[in-house]
Structure 1
Amino acid sequence: MDHSVSLNFSQLSQEHITKLKDAFQMIDADGDGIISKTDLQEMLASMGKQNSDEVIEQMLSSKGSSTDGLNFPEFLSLMSGLSGEFPEEDELKQCLRNLADEQGSLNVPLDDLLQSLKDAGFANPEEKFAKIFKTFGSTQKTTSTKIFKGESFLATISDS
């Protein structure tokens, strides 16, 4: 690993590293400690992205000489270099607020979120985002309405 990548890694906060570890474990579907080509394909498909083998190979080759996949330190280095490319927390909050109730809660009806994802062009978001919905979903006991816990989701992925 070269020093420029290490420098990016050293600038991550401990909280950000913890969140990236959670993300790593979510992407590492088989739990073997390595994000493989298959793991990346499944993760990208769950986000509605269909990338070619060439793009995935490029992602894996950007981390160094190993061909087995990304281990956690390599994942941290890669993600630290990409961190400026993700939507800001305020953008995500605004998207969830568009679905919020009158009180402005970021916990939104799952059916509304699914319809918005379909309207945005995601085919079959129930399957593509199943892991996220399982982790950040709940059912209201009084109404049996399924809810996406947007506030918990944002707390998990944000630095604040």
Structure 2
Amino acid sequence: MIKVGDKLPAATLMEYIEVEGNGCSIGPNAVDVAKATAGKTIALFALPGAFTPTCSVKHVPGYVENHEALKTAGVDEIWCVSVNDAFVMGAWARELKTGSTVRMLGDGSADFSKATGLTLDLNARGMGLRSNRYSMLVKDGVVVALNVEAPGKFEVSDANTLLAQAKA
């Protein structure tokens, strides 16, 4: 499992972006993790699935609400990663009105999740292999804080916890 001090794994995430006003889409676009994190501070959080209850009601909204505070604390971008395709992540972004506050990145084949060692087996619930729920603060591609949830919990990967770590 990835730990504080490790570089993020080489991986490509996918992002679907809509052009405001005309409804035409741009994407899905490949996001090279190494290139996209170079020289930046990223508040990255991951969760089991788009449109799921805790993820939709608590996890993502907390980061949207704390966007400005995280920016003030030195965070350049906020990333939400889930084992869903870019189209689902784009629809979820539209539903939650994340706008430019949170980048909604799909890890469709779970390659990033597998490479971090932070997967969650939800086969028994009909959801397959997913990402565990966690948050991390990443500086120039290196993990400087990591908060991994116990199964079924939402206690340490929230925006307020990561905000406190970004301020420290």
TM-score by length of 2: 0.30
Larger of the two Rg values belongs to structure: 1
Q: TM-score of the superposition, structure 1-length normalised?
A: 0.31
The structure whose residues are more often strand, as a share, is 2
More helix by share: 1
Q: Which has the higher contact order (CA 8 A, sep 6+)?
A: 2
